[in-house]
Structure 1
């Protein structure tokens, strides 16, 4: 009994020390059954697929009982202010596995990422670094152990004390790329103020997000997310789509050509495709390229009539000849 009392006192002292350090383990006066921890994915444009799941393993250390199980981390919320998609996993304890008070340690690790399209663009942060989970078991009467706290720590300060306890344990980056569609109007009958309609379709993993905006120079005309019909574009305007990974696809169609003579499409400065109003690609495979550039050029030319000049040419010649004869006539008169 005295032995149990000393363990209880030691555990209580440990909790007090952690509180004094400003650290907050999951703690309750009654038994604790589970604790959540986060996988935070920081993105540069738009959040990854909500279908993404992150898998974990938990292994006992130093003879600890098999009292912990861990779920997959699934999408929970989107912290748009900090550009973080937050996935949540749960550590669940089996209280009957702990028959004596003590502090039991476990190794928590993340399994390698999946290979489906939903994971494209996601790069591991500290996912390969294992974490330590500690289960604190106490007793109030020396005979009924209860799990009173579960902590997930990140580092050790060298003195055997947790230097960081946090529910934000694993991180990753979601780096996506961009598509730009530029509008150009050319020809001697073209009107630079004409507005052309475009339809945008984007394809990728389920739940994956895309954002877009239209700029007139530095002025933002409109913004949105995902697919959109009837986007208006004028000469010199640029539609930029963000949130595309290498396996995503797009279709851009000019739905209103204003009866211009023809439309030319050029992708990444390559060969110009004439007479088409739609371009698409499945699987961008950017490689080292950050942006896919598409230019839509509408042409409108008209013939300048030259008949008027031709019809007056003979009369102009006669007037010229008349002037020459008049000059000669007046010159002879002066000589006489």
Structure 2
């Protein structure tokens, strides 16, 4: 092969490579349909016993930096308005919800190709706005988004491809917030009932009223067992609403889930200190039967004990003691009298 032939082949190869490179930004509309929206997924993870939070999440878009070589492409800094985040994603708990380890909802970001002056790959960064909802760790790490802007057959520019990265890895545009799954910010408290004493009735039911003062609109899972062997009943209570009544007996329990640090629970045994029972809460006597508190850890227990013992009756013994003594003395005198008579 002479130099002239080799040069022709080299030139052809170079032209082919240039065409392949140019094809990245010059695909026809038939090959790539215009993309006008970018899907965004929002996920909140829990311990599986917590309702979804009553809050909304918002996002913002910044123009990313240019790069000389990103996945074999020259990348331009984003142009303002190429991607806009106008939607917020709202979560709202409902008593009809099925409790889950994760709750997800979707939104869309708007893509506008009209802001670009020429074809190319443009870099953006999408970030979740940091919030202040108690118990949530916000996922505020930015996601890199690359828009591939092409020349259309009619000469108009359009976005024909989008690549999303998180720490350099391709993937869907998703933000995940921890709400008690790993960060241990949601907790439970259990009210336990014990009946003691020689006159305590083990199967007697006692009424308990429970309320939680927490974030507005929050729901809390409640599991009630009338006694240790009874079937567990799962219900829920709403924050800042009227007390809910439950009936439990000896070894029974009421467990409230999904409590964050400042959520205040209030428990009242309406039958405390009645019908001869003496009521204590965590070993302390109580006049009202009410316990109010917060918890920062799982497995918190509030122990209610109702004790009833028979009083020692001494009045009867004192009343008849003289007669008993007289009868005893008479018996002793009679025994001596008859013994002497035989003699």
Task: Give the structure-2-normalised TM-score.
Answer: 0.72
In structure 2, the CA distance between the partners of 1:320 and 1:256, relative to structure 1 (3 Å rule), is closer
**Number of corresponding residues:** 301
Q: Does 1:296 align with 2:321?
A: no
Q: Does 1:248 align with 2:234?
A: no
**TM-aligned CA deviation for residue 323 of structure 1:** 4.3
Aligned to 1:168, which of 171, 174, 177? 174
| Runs of 4+ off more than 6 Å | 2-5
**TM-aligned CA deviation for residue 179 of structure 1:** 2.0
Deviations 1:53-97 (A, max 9, x none): 244443332123221122465235889575113254432212201
Aligned 8 A contact 2:113 2:149 in 1: no
Q: Which moved more, 1:59-68 or 1:236-245?
A: 59-68
Alignment map for 1:167-246 (pairs within 5 Å)? 167-174=173-180, 175-215=185-225, 216-217=227-228, 219-227=230-238, 229-246=244-261
Q: Secondary structure at the match of 1:147?
A: strand
Aligned to 1:64: 78
- C-alpha distance in 2, partners of 1:208/1:229? 15
Aligned to 2:124, which of 106, 120, 123? 106
Aligned 8 A contact 2:151 2:158 in 1: yes
Aligned to 1:129: 141
Aligned 8 A contact 1:213 1:220 in 2: no
Gaps of 5+ in 1: 14-27, 157-162
Deviations 1:219-250 (A, max 9, x none): 44422111462211112211110111112122
Q: Secondary structure at the match of 1:129?
A: coil
- C-alpha distance in 2, partners of 1:274/1:64? 67
Q: Which moved more, 1:46-55 or 1:61-70?
A: 46-55
In structure 2, the CA distance between the partners of 1:101 and 1:263, relative to structure 1 (3 Å rule), is farther
- C-alpha distance in 2, partners of 1:206/1:5? 60
Gaps of 5+ in 2: 1-15, 67-76
Aligned to 1:53: 57
RMSD: 3.5
- C-alpha distance in 2, partners of 1:4/1:209? 61
- C-alpha distance in 2, partners of 1:246/1:90? 33
Deviations 1:251-307 (A, max 9, x none): 2233455943466453xx47x2522033334xx3x45x4354333344555544344
Aligned to 1:139: 151
Which structure has the larger Rg over C-alpha atoms?
A: 2
Aligned to 1:148, which of 156, 160, 169? 160
Q: Which moved more, 1:307-316 or 1:193-202?
A: 307-316
**TM-aligned CA deviation for residue 211 of structure 1:** 0.5
Q: Secondary structure at the match of 1:217?
A: coil
Aligned 8 A contact 1:51 1:207 in 2: no
In structure 2, the CA distance between the partners of 1:132 and 1:74, relative to structure 1 (3 Å rule), is same
- C-alpha distance in 1, partners of 2:236/2:278? 26
Q: Secondary structure at the match of 1:104?
A: strand
**TM-aligned CA deviation for residue 213 of structure 1:** 0.7
In structure 2, the CA distance between the partners of 1:280 and 1:112, relative to structure 1 (3 Å rule), is same
In structure 2, the CA distance between the partners of 1:297 and 1:12, relative to structure 1 (3 Å rule), is farther
In structure 2, the CA distance between the partners of 1:263 and 1:89, relative to structure 1 (3 Å rule), is farther
Aligned 8 A contact 1:204 1:248 in 2: yes
Deviations 1:108-164 (A, max 9, x none): 2334332xxxx111124xx243321111222341612211233322243xxxxxx43
Task: Give the structure-1-normalised TM-score.
Answer: 0.74
- C-alpha distance in 1, partners of 2:123/2:224? 54
